[in-house]
Amino acid sequence: MLARGAEPGQVSPGCGRQVRRGAPAQGRWWRAAPGRGVEGAVKCHRSAGRAARGLRDGQAGVSPGGTKRTGTLRGNDSALPSASQPAPGGEGARPRLSRLACTLACSLVVTIVVDIVGNLLVILSVYGNKKLRNAGNIFAVSLAVADLVVAVYPYPLVLTSVFNNGWKLGYLPCQISGFLMGLSAIGSIFNITGIAINRYCYICHSLKYDKLYSDENSFCCVFLIWMLTLVAIVPNLHTGTLQCDSRICSCTFAQSVNSADTVAVVVFHFVVPVIIVIFCYLRTWILVLQVGWRVKPHNKPKLQPQDFRNFVTMFVVFVLFAICWAPLNFIGLAVAFDPASMAPRIPEWLFVVSYHMAYFNSCLNAIIYGLLNLNFRKEYRRIIVSLCTPRMFFVDSSKDVADRIKRSLLR
């Protein structure tokens, strides 16, 4: 026999039929129990009604005696959260964010703001300051663009999904967001590799540097970096590896879809570039130390202090990138080698924190430039002061344009 309001698939004791899934609560989906006749059916129906009312009372947190129960069920002296406890504010209320979700949402807001403001300052600084307009900083601008990409579109969508308790934005935004995140991540490591090679050539092969890194060659190198980035990320649109992950409320590269793809991504998009960068910086550090030991105080130094500061700045950029992205890539390798046994062993909090560490890296570079590079710091200050006084900003801009026109006429 089936009671009104019973759950689909539930059977009342001594009754004959299960509740049909999706049956209306008012319908009498019951029949007489074998050998009991109509009277037995009515008794069975009444008992089932009492059982259903007891089930509803249990879901509402009311004991059979009418007393209010707590939100936990205790058994064997252990407290278990009640899965059927309603969300505060009624049935239609949105579930409250956990403390971890609130913390990660706040960190994402800070990342977005600092990312946009900081990287725009980097681009404007290189454009507006003659001392910063050099071949090496072309790569810094390219890296700033890679960091800006994620702050403009994917990160706001992730933040929206965190507040909505899941991705509810559809398939196409998911694919675009995952594509741009991959574009930014791979573009960042390729640009950092290009910066390391540039610094290596500048210090270790200074005689050939001007020929190797003319303005035209530098722009060609940046163009090549972005072409390689597109070649690396476009196949993910066709292999189905860009998927929504409910743990991070984001569309990203799915590590467990194809082990070979995951290993290839980690090796060619992280391990190999990191090895190249380490080689370049190691050789550069050796030469810097040799110069420091061999040069006497009365001799003209072969390495200018400003060159050394620029080298240290870019080295710190690489170290922080490796620290922020290494956990996520190591998790990907572990899952790829043994998906069945390793995937369940990865704690969810570790996976989420590793992703947000990678997110946070996109706002660090502009801060590092301001802290370690005097020219960037002065230009940051000039731009901020100019924006606070718009008249000064437009006057400076017009003077700069006029100077350029004069130089072009003189040529």
CA 19 to chain centre: 45
- Dist CA 129 CA 147 (whole Å): 21
Q: 99-402 belongs to which CATH class?
A: mainly alpha
- Dist CA 354 CA 335 (whole Å): 14
Specify the pLDDT at position 245: 77
Specify the pLDDT at position 95: 52
DSSP 302: S
Q: How many CA atoms lie within 13 Å of 56's alpha carbon, on the beta-carbon side? A: 9
Amino acid at 258: N
Specify the pLDDT at position 149: 93
- Dist CA 175 CA 171 (whole Å): 6
Specify the pLDDT at position 256: 65
Contacts of 61 (CB under 8 A, 6+ apart): 68, 69, 70, 71, 82, 85
- Dist CA 48 CA 57 (whole Å): 14
What are the phi and psi torsion angles at 163 (to 5°)?
-70, -30
Per-residue pLDDT of the chain (411 residues; tens, 9 = 90+): 444 344 444 433 344 434 344 444 433 333 344 444 444 444 444 444 554 454 444 444 444 444 444 433 333 333 323 333 344 444 444 555 677 778 878 888 999 999 999 999 999 999 988 888 888 899 999 999 999 999 999 899 988 888 887 888 888 888 898 899 999 999 999 999 999 999 999 988 888 888 889 889 999 999 999 999 999 888 887 777 788 877 778 888 777 667 787 888 889 989 999 999 999 999 988 888 876 655 444 444 456 777 788 888 999 999 999 999 999 999 888 888 877 788 788 888 888 888 889 999 999 999 999 999 888 999 999 999 888 876 555 555 555 655 655 565 555
Which alpha helices (H) appear in 7-36, and where do they start and end? none
Radius of gyration of the chain measured on its C-alpha atoms: 31
Q: Where are the domains of the chain?
A: 1-58, 99-402
Secondary structure element (H or E) that encloses residue 81, with its range: strand 78-81
Length of the chain: 411
Specify the pLDDT at position 319: 94
Give the CA distances from residue 52 to residues 19, 105, 368, in Å, rounded to whole numbers and listed in that order: 12, 41, 64
Q: Of 173, 136, 220, 162, which Cα lies nearest the Cα of 355? A: 162
DSSP 61: T
